Amino acid sequence: MTAAELDLDLRSVQEARDRALAAREAQRAFRFAEQGDVDRICAAMADVAFRESARWGEMAAEETGYGLAAHKRLKNEFASRDVWESIKDIPTCGVLRRDEVHQVVEIGWPVGVVAALTPSTNPTSTAIFKILIAVKARNAVVVAPHPTAVRCTSAAVAGMAAAGEAAGMPPGLVSSLNLVTLNGTHELMSHYATSMILATGGTPMVKAAHSVGKPALGVGPGNVPVYVDRSADVARAATDIVSSKAFDCSTICATEQTVVADRPIAAQLRREMADAGAHWIDRAAAERLGRLMFRPGGTMDPRYVGRTPRQIGELAGIDVPGSARVLVADLEGVGPAHPLSREKLTTVLGFIEEDGWRAGCERSIEILTFGGDGHSLVLHAQDEDVVLAFGIEKPAFRILVNTWGTFGAIGASTGLMPSMTLAPGGLGGSVVSDNITVHHLLNVKRLAYETRRPPAEAFSRPGHAGASDAGPGTATNGRAGTVDVDLVTEVVRRVLQEVRR
């Protein structure tokens, strides 16, 4: 390590400490903010992110070299408009719910300071999304950009922070690291002021987030199979698959990775996909591409990430027509001997034929097990028995039916919660299996009133047998009085006023 690199590393660590401490101070000033103030601040940040979506998308594509600026604009618009619309009416402050039957009052409470790690593939949209769900729950958030996407990510964070502060947000509640090194990011994750880690990115980074001893929510790899059944609308399936795989050059982890085609419709599916812009490469080209795209340990060469078919052809020395939207390779199997059966965050698809949905089911499980456990699966079928069988049997927590993998999994074309962080559950090494949203960054306190008295025997003093010390008039019929809701609300309001003073 040179002196300049050492100096950068030390400055990055110091910046992480400074950001974490400033965030904690700001969060303590914000933790009793009222719902109207929180929502006004978040709306201001969502508005500026939506307005700047095109510019930040261009910055992301230019800085990282991944994907397409126009598609990154759409991701930014989704992360601002759609995400905010999905959470804006969720209560996060004060009394959230009252259960009159069980006499429990739920009160929202922030987690604290969230360290938000963002990827190079979706650098600005992920930052926008994480800021909104964190601040909505009255948390502070420090964004740690990927080293290859610092400029665009920092610009998005700074723009949102300025809008939030203009609307009344404490300075320092939203910030990002601008001097990014591995040690600096590790310092942010492990710092005593950090309360939780929200990690989106590659497997090594997510594993690091889970290893620092803090509560962490992370993603997993998405080696997503797409099964096309004989009952499917084949023409629509072909268009959806090619368009989804081509979107932003396949930089969303829920994008289709390998097509599993039911044999009776496989030939038609090939034709329809070709008409939609899929270009099949021959066996020799596929073998060459597999050797070049993946390193010996199975990790992908970043030069191939988020590239158009034409760019991939130039890198690999493969002839690719300009009309190609995706490249497709026929696979003879799944596993290390077939590198193109791995997750491919670029415009390359695998293609396998199987006879019948049961065989397609087994092949899909094999693909998921080879690097995509718990993530997502896409299914094109009209036969509801097939759909249900896939839903029950597949080791994936998002089963997307007759839609794009890219838009379906993040909740843009389905009823799933809009999110840019897709957790793979215990199968994929995460504590949850949800689309991450504000609920995961909100703690809940519970006022629990007595609904039945303890048994009489519990009142007996040690060493004294016989009657309890409950005393006259303490025996009940098993139910206490009902909650005076107005009184509870008034008490909570007064306590908060005192704390603010």
For the chain, the 3-state helix, strand and coil shares in percent, each to the nearest 5, are: 45, 15, 35
Tokens, residue 49: 């992110």
Whole-angstrom distance, CA of residue 16 vs CA of residue 488 = 41
Count of beta carbons in the 10 Å neighbourhood of residue 110: 25
The reply to whether 152 belongs to the active site is no
Which contiguous run of DSSP H or E holds residue 237?
Answer: helix 234-246
- Beta carbons within 8 Å of 145's beta carbon, 6+ residues apart: 118, 123, 127, 153, 154, 176, 177, 180
Q: Per-residue b/e over 336-363, b at no fewer than 16 CB within 10 Å? A: eebbbbbbbbbbbbbbbbbeebeebbeb
Count of beta carbons in the 10 Å neighbourhood of residue 207: 13
Active-site residue (options: 42, 152, 249, 253): 253
* Ramachandran area for residue 85 (φ above 0: left; ψ -120 to 50: alpha; else beta): alpha
Collapsing DSSP to helix, strand or coil, 279 comes out as strand
* Cβ 54 vs Cβ 60: under 8 Å: no
Tracing tokens 């914000």 back to the chain, one arrives at 30
Q: Which of 256, 261, 286, 211 is nearest to 372 (CA)?
A: 256
* Cβ 294 vs Cβ 339: under 8 Å: yes
Task: Report the residue count for the chain.
Answer: 501
CA distances in angstroms from 379 to 100, 270, 308, listed in the order given: 43, 17, 25
Strand ranges across the sheet with 95-99: 95-99, 104-110, 442-448
Whole-angstrom distance, CA of residue 114 vs CA of residue 136 = 12
Within 13 A of 492's CA, how many CA atoms are on the CB side? 20
Beta strands in 41-111 (DSSP E): 95-99, 104-110
Tracing tokens 């969502």 back to the chain, one arrives at 46
- Beta carbons within 8 Å of 99's beta carbon, 6+ residues apart: 105, 106
Tracing tokens 């610009």 back to the chain, one arrives at 155
Catalytic positions are 253
